[in-house]
Amino acid sequence: MGTVITIDIYTADGDASPVLMRALGTAQAILQRADAVFSTWNYDSPVSRLRRGEIASGQAPPEVADVIAGCAAARAASDGWFDPWAMPGGFDPTGYVKGWAAQRAARALRVPGARGAIVNAAGDIASFGALGPCAPFRIGIADPFARTQLAAVVCLAGAIATSGSYERGPHLIDPHTGQPTARAASASVTGPDLGLADALATALAVAGAPGLALIEPLDGYEALIIGHDRQHRATAGFPFAPPENE
Amino acid sequence: MKRTPIVVTATVAGLAGVLAFHTSPPEVNLTPSPGTTGQQADQSSPTAGRPAASPSRGPTSTSRPSPTPTSSSSRAASGNDGTRTIDGPAVNYSYGVLSVSVTLSGNKIVKVGIASLNDDGSFRSEMIDQQAIPILEQEAVQAQSANIQGVSGASYTSAGFKTSLQAALRSAGFS
């Protein structure tokens, strides 16, 4: 995937117990396996072979069926704005797989001793737990117009994915036209599942502010769009962090 | 044959795994301390338009100086400038064994590095040293100064890292 992934585990006493180190190894293995199966950069990966028609989906590893099902659900939820079947070169689940894999890696970290964990796959984040009672994780959202600045801070309960024209450039394809199109500078989606949040963020980066109407009815999911006009538009329940006491 | 993305992912995840056992709640100093080097408190640190503030979380802020990465097998050393350097435990990664060192001033990460690396001199390790460490260090420092535990949205460092890494590997014959 060419993705830099960082994993932070929060514990009561800061000790790296054998249980935690094993869980970390499992999480790493999950990420490596996902890359081996789904990487479209790898000519021989099952998904590359699927795209070339060399194998049918029934001959691919079982995770592929899970991802196909997840992509179908995301396509439905995004009203077709996320459509991995409409990508150049054939079915391309890349916009879903990164989040899907990071979410599974996070799940593997739920072991005794871990009060919380954050799996950050190049800005798509899966998490569980918190810093402490009444102390949720705080995640900054990068400002697409000033990349060392933060546009907003959110209180994270679960996952957040951000997609933007600055990140992927020509990879944001409008499924309706087949053209690279980004109607938002940046779109962030929060919710329980990072795979779906990842796909929805991609969809919103293509669709722009009108896409917010797709997110409002989705239970547990919220979104923020930063337009090319630098305006912020968000769903009603988007979890902005309250301003800090100075 | 582009196998390198797998290497990067696994290696950096291993690196971060060694780094990142935080106490809960984390005991980090959020205001820049004078005399620490380089990367925090300069104009490239991310801010939300407000000066970095130290919020109170809960009845009292605990001040037990606990190193952010810690394990029962790490070594600690003190520097002349009041900093402490802790070496994490050795971790197997795809091409060998590495351990990470973290330098703290008070409770603040000021530097991250490779303490030891044994991989029979593979080219990929130089990449790790030269590319991944500065990125993780910068992100660790920036995250502290803004009281956040991560950033969503590809940072310029991720994109730059991928680009420069791919270009370097291409020029070295890994395509």
pLDDT digits (tens, 9 = 90+) for A195-215: 999 999 999 999 999 999 999
Residue B32 to chain A, least CA–CA distance (Å): 15
Q: Which of A4, A20, A147 is opposite residue B161, by nearest beta carbon?
A: A4
Of all residues in chain B, the one with the smallest CA distance to A131 is: B25
Give the side-chain half-sphere CA count within 13 A for B8: 26
Which chain A positions have a beta carbon within 8 Å of B159's beta carbon? 167
- Domain locations in chain A as residue ranges: 5-234
Separation of alpha carbons B113 and B105, rounded Å: 15
- The two three-digit tokens of residue A7, written as one number: 């994993």
pLDDT of residue B172 exceeding 50, the answer is: no
The pLDDT confidence band at residue B141, using thresholds 50, 70 and 90, is low
Residue A23 to chain B, least CA–CA distance (Å): 10
Residues 6+ apart with CB under 8 A from B99: B18, B87, B88, B89, B90, B91, B114, B115, B116, B117
**Of all residues in chain A, what percent carry a pLDDT higher than 70?**
93
pLDDT digits (tens, 9 = 90+) for A142-160: 888 876 678 899 999 999 9
Contact A35 B6 (CB under 8 A): yes
Determine the pLDDT at residue B45. 26
| CA A58 from centre of chain | 26
pLDDT digits (tens, 9 = 90+) for A8-26: 888 877 667 888 888 988 9
Q: Which residue, among B1, B133, B149, B161, would best test binding to A if mutated, counting the most A CBs under 10 Å from its CB? A: B149
Separation of alpha carbons A51 and A98, rounded Å: 18
Contact A39 B166 (CB under 8 A): no
Section B60-73 average pLDDT: 28
pLDDT of residue B29 exceeding 80, the answer is: no
Complex confidence, ipTM:
0.90
Tell me which of B99 and B120 has the higher pLDDT.
B120
Residues 6+ apart with CB under 8 A from B112: B19, B100, B101, B102, B103, B133, B136, B137, B140
Tell me which of A64 and B24 has the higher pLDDT.
A64
Contact B133/A at CB under 8 A: no
Tell me which of B64 and A219 has the higher pLDDT.
A219
Contact A133 B58 (CB under 8 A): yes
Separation of alpha carbons A223 and A162, rounded Å: 9
Residue B104 to chain A, least CA–CA distance (Å): 15
Contact A19/B at CB under 8 A: no
Contact B31/A at CB under 8 A: no
**Domain A5-234, CATH:** 3.10.520.10
Which chain B positions have a beta carbon within 8 Å of A239's beta carbon? none
The answer to whether the beta carbons of residues B3 and B83 sit under 8 Å apart is no
- Domain locations in chain B as residue ranges: 1-20+68-175
